[in-house]
Structure 1
Amino acid sequence: MARLIHSMLRVLEEERSIRFYKETLGLRVVDRLVFETFTLVYLAGEDGPFELELTINHGRTEPYDLGTAYGHLAVSVADAQAEHDRLSAAGYPVTPVKTMTHGSGENPRVVGTFFFLTDPDGYRIEVLERGAPGRFI
Structure 2
Amino acid sequence: MFTFNHFNFNVKNLEESLKFYHDALGLEEISRNDQPDFTIVFLGDGRTGFRLELTYMKGRTKPYDLGEQEYHLALTADNFEKAHAYHKKNGWICFENTAMGIYFLEDPDGYWIEIVPDGAYMAARTKE
TM-score (norm 2): 0.88
Matches within 5 A, 1:53-92: 53-68=53-68, 70-92=70-92
- Same amino acid, percent of matched pairs: 36
Partner of 1:118: 106
Q: Distance in 1 between matches of 2:22 and 2:2?
A: 28
After superposing on structure 2, the runs of 4+ consecutive aligned residues of structure 1 that deviate more than 6 Å are none
Q: 1:68, CA displacement in angstroms?
A: 2.5
Partner of 1:37: 37
Q: 1:82, CA displacement in angstroms?
A: 1.9
Q: Distance in 1 between matches of 2:33 and 2:69?
A: 28
Tell which deviates more after alignment, 20-29 or 63-72: 63-72
- Secondary structure at the aligned position of 1:96 is classed as strand
Q: Distance in 2 between matches of 1:9 and 1:44?
A: 14
- Secondary structure at the aligned position of 2:31 is classed as strand
**Cα 1:70/1:9, change in 2 over 3 Å:** farther
* Cα RMSD for the two superposed structures: 1.6
Q: Distance in 2 between matches of 1:96 and 1:73?
A: 15
Partner of 2:5: 5
Q: 1:37, CA displacement in angstroms?
A: 1.1
Gaps of 5+ in 2: none
Q: Distance in 2 between matches of 1:32 and 1:122?
A: 23
Are the aligned partners of 2:30 and 2:43 in contact in 1 as well (CA < 8 Å)?
yes
Task: Decide which structure has greater helix share.
Answer: 2
String of CA shifts for 1:91-132, please: whole Å, max 9, x gaps.
3234235132xxxxxxxxxxxx21000000000000000112
Are the aligned partners of 1:80 and 1:115 in contact in 2 as well (CA < 8 Å)?
no
- Secondary structure at the aligned position of 2:74 is classed as strand
TM-score (norm 1): 0.83
Partner of 1:15: 15
Q: Distance in 1 between matches of 2:23 and 2:54?
A: 16
Q: Distance in 2 between matches of 1:70 and 1:56?
A: 22
Q: Distance in 2 between matches of 1:99 and 1:6?
A: 30
Gaps of 5+ in 1: 101-112
Are the aligned partners of 1:73 and 1:125 in contact in 2 as well (CA < 8 Å)?
yes
Give aligned pairs, total: 123
Which is greater in Rg?
1
